[in-house]
Amino acid sequence: MAGACCKCTATLSVFKRSLSVAPRGCSSAPRYQLAGWRLGERGLQEASRASSAVRPAGFYRHTASVCLSCQESMSESLRTCYVYLNQTSRSFAAVIQALDGELRHAVCIFYLVLRALDTVEDDMSIPLNTKVPMLNDFHTYLYQHDWCFTKSQEKDRQVLEDFPTISLEFRNLAQDYRDVISEICHRMGVGMAEFLEKKVGSMKEWDLYCHYVAGLVGVGLSKLFSASKLEDPEVGQDTELANSMGLFLQKTNIIRDYLEDTQEGRAFWPQEASLHSAAANIIFIFVPNFTILPAWSQFAGRLEDFAQPQKLDSALSCLNLLVTDALQHVPDVIAYLSRLRNQSVFNFCAIPQVMAIATLSSCYNNPMVFQGVVKIRKGQAVTLMMDATNMGAVQTIIAQYSQEIFQKVSLTDPSRDKTLHILTVIQEKSTLSQSSLPSRTHHLSPMYLSAAMLLAALSWQYLNTTAAQAQGTGDMQGQ
């Protein structure tokens, strides 16, 4: 294998259980993203200001003592893995590290393994005749003690260069965790290889692409939750709901990132909308004989044409069609979250989902999707993170943003009927009697409330640092 080598001595940084955040360099988004983590990170970065209530007296002192306790029980190689986690996952590393018990380590290693796989796929300097076998075989490297790859040009290449440290900690996990991580790594690698030279054409292919990129992450995490015994077996067994969790996040990413992707020469909006979408039987346009109809190609000759002002009406019609398709996963999201019993797992899963529906609400019928970056408000992001700690609050948030979308639906929008239908279903699901759901409202320990406040504080710190860097860069360019 070109670039593969035996394990060399890696320089091990002095481990810091870093809950502060160092922003990464500004580079184009990789083709494959770990969707749940990615959307959560972006949401965290939107929160720039935290009130004094977010940082109570003694807050950081309490956090530091927890960090030192964690460090003392870790091996040197595991500490290095957490260094890599903080380097490659930005602020959302804090959410992973807030998980309970041994699940925290399993999810950390799961993330790093998929980050390494993602780095191989995203590295355009690796020729296809090398990359395709690597993606297909990557899961086998978990059991090859000395395998590493030293020829990557990607910014996260350290996870490949020091992969023996990651694979060592993978092999130190319980067998149940290893089986899940290896299986998901294998399936994702095969899917990545399949889409290397394949564009997303039909809605069915869009669902499949999102399954490989994000649905499998949801499936893997769910199986890890159940393997940890923190959640019931059905959470890991119901792969349909877990897949929907991932698809909802990834479709939101793709919709929001239209301009960035097209400017970088990437196209993830589906070209054709099948009347038999794999994810849901939503018929957007009524025609006889179940004909295959275009998605964006019914509105423009090229996907990038949507950025032209004269194409705005067509662009918004296509945008709203795709938002409607993404919203079909929300009932599954509600069903999935309602099953969770562990507070740290609930927070880990709920925050990205509420960020996603808030983002979709901002994107729906919004011309800015084709002109710039659509963001949720900074204070809004803090509020979502603070509030999304119980099922009742999450249902309220979902109902709020689905109502916002409802109010934006145009009388002339081609997808109007289907949009209104799925919004009605979501409203019904999100306003179920709370007596039928286990409530966490009165059972939150101070530790979990502190964790929520920590996330808000991190958000404020991260964005202030990022904004300062961006301003400095702008000043330099102006000179």
Read off the tokens for 333: 């999201």
Angle between helices 343-363 and 330-339 (to 10 degrees): 160
**122/31 Cα distance (integer angstroms):** 6
- Tell me if residue 285 falls in helix, strand or coil: coil
Which runs of E-coded beta strand occur in 286-369? 293-294
The answer to whether 266 is a known catalytic residue is yes
Q: Which of 284, 306, 348, 370 is catalytic?
A: 348
User: How far is CA 133 from its chain centroid?
Assistant: 26
Q: Which of 90, 256, 339, 440 is catalytic?
A: 256
Read off the tokens for 260: 């960035």
Task: Confirm if 139 and 182 have CB atoms less than 8 A apart.
Answer: yes
The answer to whether 256 is a known catalytic residue is yes
Sign, CA dihedral 142-146-150-151, equals negative
| Burial class, 127, CB count within 10 angstroms (exposed 0-12 / middle 13-18 / buried 19+) | exposed
Task: Confirm if 43 and 253 have CB atoms less than 8 A apart.
Answer: no
Helix (H) or strand (E) holding 85: helix 76-89
- Tell me if residue 112 falls in helix, strand or coil: helix
Read off the tokens for 58: 């003694």
Q: Which of 31, 187, 266, 416 is catalytic?
A: 266
Task: Confirm if 13 and 454 have CB atoms less than 8 A apart.
Answer: no
Read off the tokens for 255: 């919709």
Q: Which of 110, 111, 177, 209 is catalytic?
A: 209
Catalytic residues: 209, 256, 266, 348
